[in-house]
Amino acid sequence: MDNQQVKPDRGRRSFWTWGWQSDEPTLGQRQEMAKHLSKRFGRKISVPAVPDIEDLELRAPRISVPDSLRNIVTTDKAERVIHTYGGHFLELNRALRGDFAEPPDAVAYPQDENQVEAVLDWCDGKGYAVIPYGGGTTVVNGVSVPPSARGAVTIDMERLNQVLEIDETSRAARIQAGIFGPDLEDALRPKGYTLRHFPQSFPWSTLGGWIVTRSGGHYATNHTHIDDFVESVRMITPAGWWESRRLPGSGAGPSPDRMVIGSEGTLGILTEAWMRIQKRPVFRATAGVVFPTWEKAYTATRHLVQAKLWPANLRLLDPEEAGRAAGLNGKQALLIIGFESSDVPQGEFIKLAVDIARANGGQVDDDEVRVSDGAGQATGREGAVGNWRNSFIGVNAGLTNGLGLIGDTFETAITWDKWPEFDAEVRDKVGRVLKEVVGEAYTLSCRFTHVYTDGPAPYYTFSGMGAPGGEAEQWQTIKDAASEVLISAGATITHHHSVGRMHAKGWSRQTPRLYGSVLRAAKKILDPNSILNPGVLFEP
């Protein structure tokens, strides 16, 4: 395949930070960050050079591409480099260090379903591992090549990127799996619609990736995961097509959609889906409520969500996060409340929500409760809420990559009855391990990304300075401690980051044993030669 043909229009993906080459930080920005970290940790930190792709050592492709597929399959070195890793910080770090021990042998760019099928048939016949690839933003090792593979082909879906049909009467759209978030919204916008699903990785991730990983958007209540927007799916498996019927709802047995949603490329390749869409919001209201303590803040959040006002957003930052991301004093917690609607003014709802927050110890001045009447006034972009929003959108892994920082997140969900004790246990046990592994100067903070009437979805962020060269082992020790607390406390191993290879063990511990056996049996039927994403979901 001619390399020019495979270049996406938006430029090339970066192999060492999230997004495209245009998202890569400059050397100056990285040096500034190194200076800041040197000061914080009292250690001289230098900035490693980014290797040139041409200088990287890759094993020769172990496969030969048949003539019939040469126009869509490439063994180009740069393509293999770009598709070796997902977006976990350790993966990006290995890439920056030039470690490409397990690259795919080839990358396919099918342009239609027939071509997806042809690549899958070829790999199935040869026993090559197939790695479906959307935006490559997985943070759970979902797109890496397992060392056991005798040959591996990554199928990049980015050319199946169209909104094919909009059914305005039913408010649904038929959309190809490889479309990136911004392109999807651009295609729906002219008719006034939106999918309204915005994971933090929105600019770089795809509809297919969202569906098969059960992605969580940034709205905190109602439709938190992509699941509820999926009307029907179309997936190709080595055993044939899996297409479900478009239905607004159905009580007919275990759902065929549910089997695909969350399958993480292990049962087939999702090519398109009918998605429920909605009118774009016009009316908005938002408030940032400050609480003197974390306890008061999460109690207020519980009362608020249980009042069933269904705000679009109810995002709670603990004092550490509110200090760092929103500029508060490090002792106060911040609750961001947001309402929106395409048809109904939201002023009354925010008033009720703020009343509940104040009754539970929250503080917000009346003039900081912003209500937009639909005439285009911005809300949620000012003050502490605006500060938080900018830091949320502006994340860039490349800034700290290679500087020795161990910085990661783990997210979960747990019922309210277990909540405060669970939080205390996480902070105690994970905090102790962090202290042992990276020393006193660690951080461990929490926010609620989503809240349900029966429990929150807490999202913990930790960081500390690692020992040069030992970051992977140190991270593993911290991750193991966190996973153990989650599973033994009765929480989930992941609320929205998915299972991948990283969480396969934890997931098998939290699901009924028989359920695991049933899924393995289903995989045997759909993927008899076990070529699809080996090691993802199911431990080898």
Interface ranges with ligand FAD (CB under 6 A): 18, 86-87, 131-139, 142-143, 157, 177, 199-201, 205-206, 208-210, 212-213, 215-216, 264-265, 269-270, 395, 496-498, 500, 533, 536
Nearer to ligand FAD, 213 or 332 (CB): 213
Please state the closest distance from residue 281 (CB atom) to ligand FAD, in A. Answer: 19
Sequence-ordered list of residues with C-beta below 8 angstroms from that of 512, at least 6 positions apart, any chain:
none
> Of 267, 154, 264, which is closest to residue 208 (Cα–Cα)?
264
> Of 224, 273, 231, 226, which is closest to residue 255 (Cα–Cα)?
231
Please state the closest distance from residue 50 (CB atom) to ligand FAD, in A. Answer: 19
Nearer to ligand FAD, 243 or 382 (CB): 243
Nearer to ligand FAD, 269 or 504 (CB): 269
For residues 50 and 16, the answer to whether their CB atoms sit within 8 Å is yes
- Residue showing the smallest CB distance to ligand FAD in the complex: 209
Q: Rg for the chain (alpha carbons), in Å?
A: 23
Residue type, 279: K
Nearer to ligand FAD, 346 or 412 (CB): 412
Nearer to ligand FAD, 74 or 332 (CB): 74
**Residue 456 structure tokens:** 């929150």
**Residue 525 structure tokens:** 């039927």
Nearer to ligand FAD, 129 or 444 (CB): 129
Q: Chain-centre distance of CA 481, in angstroms?
A: 22
Nearer to ligand FAD, 148 or 293 (CB): 148
The H-or-E segment that residue 232 falls in is strand 230-237
Distance CA 64, CA 9 (A): 27
Please state the closest distance from residue 288 (CB atom) to ligand FAD, in A. Answer: 20
Please state the closest distance from residue 496 (CB atom) to ligand FAD, in A. Answer: 4
Residue 206: CB atoms within 10 A of its CB come to 29
Please state the closest distance from residue 207 (CB atom) to ligand FAD, in A. Answer: 8
Please state the closest distance from residue 208 (CB atom) to ligand FAD, in A. Answer: 3
Residue 448: CB atoms within 10 A of its CB come to 23
Nearer to ligand FAD, 393 or 472 (CB): 393
Distance CA 463, CA 475 (A): 10
Please state the closest distance from residue 337 (CB atom) to ligand FAD, in A. Answer: 19
CA dihedral 251, 252, 253, 257 (to 10 degrees): -90
Please state the closest distance from residue 348 (CB atom) to ligand FAD, in A. Answer: 30
> Of 207, 406, 445, 129, which is closest to residue 316 (Cα–Cα)?
445
